[in-house]
Structure 1
């Protein structure tokens, strides 16, 4: 990036450098816990928000302006790649994403197109608008959904509690699963390279549902493709690898050569950090439910995490997963203030 960042704390931490305090951003930081988000959401559908660069920029900027976080993340959705490939995607209030044409047979899989980058141009356009508005204040993170997580939505046709249809596919028709995963991976490489070319300062790969998998299935149906993606994108910006289950899978995740591993809240973060090769940073790992608690509890838990990580190079504060929609905005703002006041 030609723009010199006024606040490069996040980038330094992502590159495993010492920082005077941990940088902070939070997954789903531009979301439903903000009244200002609903002012926009009540006027447009979710996909309209994603696909209109000016609106995507408005939403991306909310936590920048209202919370003062150290990194912005592009407002979009992990499922836009699946839609571009041919998935008939809709979002239903209180239900979440749905695909009316789930992918369950070879014929379904063959319908998925890989040559679809032009359908995602609105994301590159949004990145350019956001970077104009950020004007070098803080870095912008781009992202994509990892192939296994995208596959699970395409196969189930919606969110799932048990991933029964997905696991049935992996067990009964592994070749078909690999065909679909390879297509998603190829689209994801092109999509992330497009974001890097458009000007993002970092990338995060979200494998939200990896925790559904056994160790061997994670290796074969998730890690294999994440490694392929990270080997084929332009490594000109730091890359974060996140999954629910990273507390278990971190030793394998590191083989994909990410710059940062984002850790869920089930593990001791220092233990994970010290088990990784030198130069790999960690991100995490506060349980988001802490943000429902009294402010004194929020402060204590954040300070406990920070004291545990004292002396570790390469630590980005985040939640173990995304902010829930009914967490009080005031509590999130307070948490950010506590983090920004802290000094090592």
Structure 2
């Protein structure tokens, strides 16, 4: 009884309570978390500078950490992960406002905890960051395996929505006056059950938080390692604890800002497709198909990375995938989605009676 009463009074404490809140409240809560992280990071920086204990942590160094976090949120795997997760939730009739935030917070948890351990001088962190160590290899396998497997499974789940949209497109071509009911894009039938079953238990954004947490264990991105190197260097230079903590916090603030904005954009795009599936069927096929392709590609890159690093496979398709440069792929993918949505939004507005 006590738990139920607390949930009614504080709906943000339970998944069901959060889902029942008005959409604008959920968006406001997500943005409040992002704003809180910014205030915490900037507050620590200002406190260190005003107190004269910032030492090696300068405003410029803090800006570098912030910029690395913002750039990191546009990594190809981040965009694909948030896009495909959002598509899955929308296909199930949900409208989560915090998919991007949840994934980013899971990712950031490892960054902040590792930053704290670096500041504390924990020796095993140096081992974990050394690519040649056994601990780094194990963590790398966990991170890459989780991200690759999850993306493949969620892309396959979204394939059920794509196939449903394709069937609807064929039916509309045969009968342009066909009445399309609400939620017509919700996957149905035996094939949909088979495709969506593996991730049926992933029903709330906090589940994506766990994926983000495991995903970041590999320390396989230059941005993530870079902010830890900055923190370690500033610690060796004698900067105060307060000033040092602002670096991973500002990195986290920037990454959550980018990932949250990406998640909200994807939610708006896929919700628009579901609002009028008959008129927007081609748009839905394009963005869902590109999302699925990006998820499968990141999963294939993860598999190729494991085969190359753990088994020494370097030829054929594996070699081609490991040599593939995806440094700017995230920007291209995000830009593509934004342009398609903006162009379609203008066309839909002009077509209104």
Q: TM-score range by the shorter chain?
A: under 0.3
More strand by share: 1
Flag the structure with more relative contact order, 1 or 2, with Cα contacts below 8 A and sequence separation at least 6: 2
Higher helix residue share: 2
